[in-house]
Amino acid sequence: MTVKDDFSDSYESPSGQRSQEEENLVIFCKQMLKTRVFKGSYQERRYVESLQGYRDLIVLDSCEHELKNDLKYIHHRISNFYRNPELWLGVTLPDMVGAPAGTCIWTDVEGNPFGKYWFQIRTIRFRTNEVYIKVKPLRSVSGDALSTGNVGSQAENDHNISMEGLTKENIVNLLLSWKRAISTGLMNFLWNDINRENIVAAIRCFFDTTFRRGALAFTHGYADYLEDNRTVRQSYRWLLYPHSYDLA
């Protein structure tokens, strides 16, 4: 089976057809996950029935709260979009029946690095029967470093890793992580709230409000016109027939 990182003319999507909405979903998922650095523990290699193959199991560390929430959100979005129980999503959550404890990524890891490691998400691929998260191990970490659960320590460790080599790739990844932290909230808003139904509803509301205000203004204007016209007719009649009015 040919693997495609992105959509192309020969790409066969999990839904059986390619649509703009599906392309937007792929772009959104990649923007959320690509280049993310996280701490996790390589557990084992397990057989996945729906794939008829094996995947390496990585359990996210307890301090990775933000990435866990993002994976949960993406898992929910993809499940609701495809609604295909045969599609393997590459992520299991703690509340899933029969799944390993914790939030886990099912992928292929080079060299089977058992233990606790720093990993980086390279990309996310949408295959015919699988959503595949490609992960690369960076380096091992000590148990003490992984047990630090506060956000400040996590940010400091991330910074130390990024600055350790001062390579171009590390600097770019660090800048991308800052950009993603700022844009994630905006992306969630655009994805959830800006869609065709909401746009149509907003346009209808705008024209409905405009029409009502216009009709009300026209009614008031027409009423004023009739009142002024009646006054003019009465004045004109008084000029023609002054004897018919009692001026006393």
Is residue 133 situated within a structural domain?
A: yes
Could you tell me if 129 and 218 lie in one domain? no
Q: Mean per-residue pLDDT for 124-150? A: 75
Please determine, for residue 184, whether its predicted confidence score (pLDDT) is greater than 90: no
Residues facing residue 47 across a β-bridge? 54
Q: Residue 103: which domain range?
A: 20-194
From the CB of residue 43, how many other CB atoms can be counted at a distance below 10 Å? 16
pLDDT value at position 83? Answer: 87
Please check whether residues 129 and 45 belong to one and the same domain: yes
Distance CA 143, CA 78 (A): 34
Select from 194, 215, 230 the last residue of a domain.
194
Q: Is residue 70 assigned to a domain?
A: yes
Tell me, yes or no, whether 162 and 229 share the same domain: no
Residues 34 and 143 in one domain: yes
Let me know whether 189 and 217 are in one domain. no
- The verdict on residue 91 lying in a domain is yes
Is 7 among the domain residues? no
Vertex 28: Cα angle to 22 and 29 (nearest 5): 95
**What's the total number of domains in the chain?**
2
Residues 202 and 234 in one domain: yes
Under the banding of pLDDT at 50, 70 and 90, the label for residue 20 is confident
Q: Are residues 100 and 204 in the same domain?
A: no
Are 146 and 63 within 8 A, CB to CB? yes
Q: Are residues 110 and 48 in the same domain?
A: yes
Q: Is residue 201 part of a domain?
A: yes
- In the sheet that holds 131-140, the strands lie side by side as 91-92, 104-107, 53-60, 37-48, 115-126, 131-140
Helices 20-33 and 65-82 cross at an angle (nearest 10°) of 170
Q: Could you tell me if residue 80 is inside a domain?
A: yes
Residue 34 lies in a domain: yes
| Helix H or strand E encompassing 67 | helix 65-82
Q: Quote helix, strand, coil % in the chain, to nearest 5.
A: 50, 20, 30
pLDDT band at 183 (very low <50, low <70, confident <90, very high): low
Indicate whether 212 pLDDT > 70. yes
Reported as a single tens digit per residue, the pLDDT across 97-119 is 777 888 999 999 887 677 889 99
pLDDT reported for residue 14: 64
Q: For all residues of the chain together, what is the average pLDDT?
A: 74
185 & 206 share domain: no
**Position with higher pLDDT, 83 vs 179:** 83
The dihedrals phi and psi of 187, each to the nearest 5 degrees, come to -65, -40
* 83 and 131 fall within a common domain: yes
Q: Which helix (H) or strand (E) covers residue 120, if one does? A: strand 115-126
Is the domain of 94 the same as that of 153?
Answer: yes
Residue 84 lies in a domain: yes
Statement to judge: residues 73 and 106 lie in one domain: yes
Phi, psi of 83 (to 5 degrees): 50, 50
